[in-house]
A and B are shown apart, each in its own frame.
Chain A
Amino acid sequence: MTRTLDIRNLCLRLPDTARPVLDGVDLHIAAGETVALVGESGSGKSLTARTVLRLLPKGAETEGAVEVAGENVLALDPQQLRALRTGRVAMIFQDPRAAINPLRRVGDFLTESVRLTGAMSEPDATRRAAELLTAVGLDASVLRRHPGQLSGGMLQRVMIAAALMGDPVLLLADEPTTALDVTSQAEVVALIGELKERFDTGLLFVTHDLGLAAAISDRVYVMYAGRIVETGPAATLFTDPRHPYTLALLAATPRLAAPGGRLAAIDGQPPDLRHELTGCSFAPRCRFATQLCTTQAPEPHSAPGAPGHLAACHHSDRLEESAADA
């Protein structure tokens, strides 16, 4: 069966940088699957999601393949690309207040994509917009309002409804809760999960929130400095991390269960794009690093007995021992 999304060895270079911003990214999503992509700011997780819609920065050069339902996005002509963007793939953006034109009515925003490309007639588009507004828990009267008259949480619901307009097979959610207050966050996450089931779409959930990733997804990819460093089922990846970066991220996550303790910040800085990388990108910040790590980049390899749990680390075994000690 064809995968909903299949990214193979994706490299993306920007002008005036010494190393690729995305460096050999492999990521796939099966039909109806929910996949989380986690990493800190600048790791390339948003860029990976944007590449699926070919929303690339100026001067970007790509290598590798990004296939949506068997079709290579990077090779589409402009008309096919437009068809992909109106239909099969839709993105939910981080800040709905910035993502929706404040001067146009909500109804216009919801319907413009399918209307202007001729995918739907105006009455059909309006009818579907009204249905989807109900599906995201808003009243159809919102169609006639301006974005300024809605709260951030309501606007993100509008954004979600807009993403569903073209009946997509894949939803890309780029930190959809970061700009919202805590109560709206929980509601929006629950809503995305529910609608994903109802409309039977794949979901790529980009977030820096590990807890959220564990809660919503089937599988998780952890990204660092443009590379996938670890991937595995959500259930085991966080309980049994096999990459030191994942371990460090977990240690740096605040916990309600043990308040008052100092957070374990990760020492050092992520690597600079102006310098070339030799060896493992995380080596300078890693407490397990050896001579080998600074000279040879580790290839992803699976854990014994868990073929779906891959880590790109020379010392995954030592990590398991150390976790067992602790």
Chain B
Amino acid sequence: MSFARFAVRRLLEMAATLLGASFVIFGAMYLAPGDPASFLLSGRSASPAALAEINTQYHLQDPFFVRYFRWLGQVLHGDFGRSIEYRTGVSKLLADRLPSTLLLVAMALVLVVVVGLALGWIGAVRGGATDSTILVATTVAVGTPSFVAAILLQGLFSVRLGWFPTSGTGQGFGDMIRHLILPAIALALYLIGMLARVTRAAMLEQLDSEHVAVARSRGVPERQVIWRHVFRNACGTVLTTGGLIVSTLIICTVLVESAFSIGGIGQLLELATTTKDFPTVQAISLFIVGLFMTVNLIIDLLFPLVDPTVTLGARRSTA
């Protein structure tokens, strides 16, 4: 299959999935107990006149599908409606909070890739006591939920040692990075452990393979054997976890941003959910679904470059 055909097919699939997701996300509001109007009033009693006004303002008396398609039409024009809680446009709300979340996720992703690959590599190649130590460390990392890591890191490095701020996002780029270091570590810890284990296992499998023994028998220097044959061939397996890594990062921002009071998308999602701010929850949910699909599309397009024995479209997404 040609690259262009594959890309077009996947984009169409993506559009269809997003449409389905939008329906589920919109409909979920009506599966929640109680009717939307009383959520909007958040338990306060209101006069029938006020209730009627709310019903008109939010078109609550219209049939479900009419409201869905009206909402969908607005979304397609980039209008996610007004936040009930913040009384501003949801798009602006998201745009304000996106930079800190993206920076946090990017920092965590760099940590995961660099530290995770390095630990897996060293464990597989060195073996012995080094490997055992790394194995124990990654087991602990995989077993530590990000909110526990967040509390531990805050307690040690912010409260006790005072090296990093306990919370907030900071002003300016440098200060923002400083504020986000601990949250990024908390966010990355589990995934570092996971990626290190996947990398280690994939490299050990290759180390055991015949073609590696053959490369050695032909006098290829050991460093090159590891780089060109062991790590290179392990890359496919490692890339497969990419989708899982990015989705886990995004989901865990909800916990970590709340723990460190970072004004990002994750914290907004948490607040919007507890205050039943439906337009905001819908917009963020749709955004996250779109992000997942984009990441998976990129990985699928990259895959044939990493493994030429796989043709475009032969591998299905795993996350």
Residues of A within 8 A of B (CB): 50, 53, 55, 81-87, 90-91, 93, 95, 98-104, 112-113, 116-117, 146, 148, 162, 166
* Interface residue? B232 (CB, 8 A): yes
A102 surroundings in chain B (CB, below 8 A): 211, 309
Interface centre among A81, A83, A86, by most chain B C-beta atoms within 10 angstroms, is: A86
Given known A104-B228, A112-B228, contact A99–B211 (CB-CB < 8 A): yes
Chain B, interface SS category? helix
Q: Which of B131-139, B219-227, B276-284 contacts A (4 or more CB under 8 A)?
A: B219-227
Residues of B within 8 A of A (CB): 209-211, 213-221, 224, 228-229, 232-233, 307-309
Asked whether B228 lies within 8 Å of A86 as measured between CB atoms, the reply is no
Asked whether A83 lies within 8 Å of B219 as measured between CB atoms, the reply is yes
Asked whether B210 lies within 8 Å of A117 as measured between CB atoms, the reply is no
Interface centre among A93, A95, A101, by most chain B C-beta atoms within 10 angstroms, is: A101
Given known A103-B233, A103-B307, contact A55–B210 (CB-CB < 8 A): no
Q: Which of A82, A95, A112, A113 contacts B210 (CB 8 A)?
A: A95
Interface centre among B229, B233, B308, by most chain A C-beta atoms within 10 angstroms, is: B308
Complex Cα–Cα for A87 and B218 (A): 8
CB<8 Å pairs between A and B, sample of 15: A87-B219, A93-B214, A98-B209, A98-B210, A98-B211, A100-B211, A101-B211, A101-B228, A102-B211, A102-B309, A103-B308, A112-B218, A112-B228, A116-B220, A116-B224
Asked whether B309 lies within 8 Å of A113 as measured between CB atoms, the reply is no
Asked whether A86 lies within 8 Å of B218 as measured between CB atoms, the reply is yes
A-B complex: 7 closest residue pairs judged by Cβ atoms: A85-B219, A86-B219, A113-B218, A98-B210, A82-B219, A99-B214, A101-B211
A98 surroundings in chain B (CB, below 8 A): 209-211
B233 surroundings in chain A (CB, below 8 A): 101, 103
Chain B nearest Cβ from A84, distance in angstroms: 7
Asked whether B229 lies within 8 Å of A101 as measured between CB atoms, the reply is yes
Q: Which of B209, B214, B216, B309 contacts A146 (CB 8 A)?
A: B309
Interface centre among B215, B217, B233, by most chain A C-beta atoms within 10 angstroms, is: B217
Asked whether A148 lies within 8 Å of B211 as measured between CB atoms, the reply is no
Complex Cα–Cα for A95 and B228 (A): 20
Complex Cα–Cα for A39 and B217 (A): 23
Chain A nearest Cβ from B96, distance in angstroms: 45
Q: Which of B210, B220, B224, B309 contacts A99 (CB 8 A)?
A: B210
Complex Cα–Cα for A112 and B224 (A): 10
Q: Which of A82, A100, A116 contacts B214 (CB 8 A)?
A: A100
Complex Cα–Cα for A166 and B214 (A): 15
Complex Cα–Cα for A83 and B213 (A): 16
Given known A103-B309, A148-B309, contact A85–B209 (CB-CB < 8 A): no
Q: Which of A85, A87, A95, A148 contacts B217 (CB 8 A)?
A: A85
Complex Cα–Cα for A122 and B308 (A): 23
Asked whether A112 lies within 8 Å of B220 as measured between CB atoms, the reply is yes
Complex Cα–Cα for A117 and B210 (A): 21
Chain B nearest Cβ from A80, distance in angstroms: 11
- Who on chain B is nearest to A119 by CB? B219
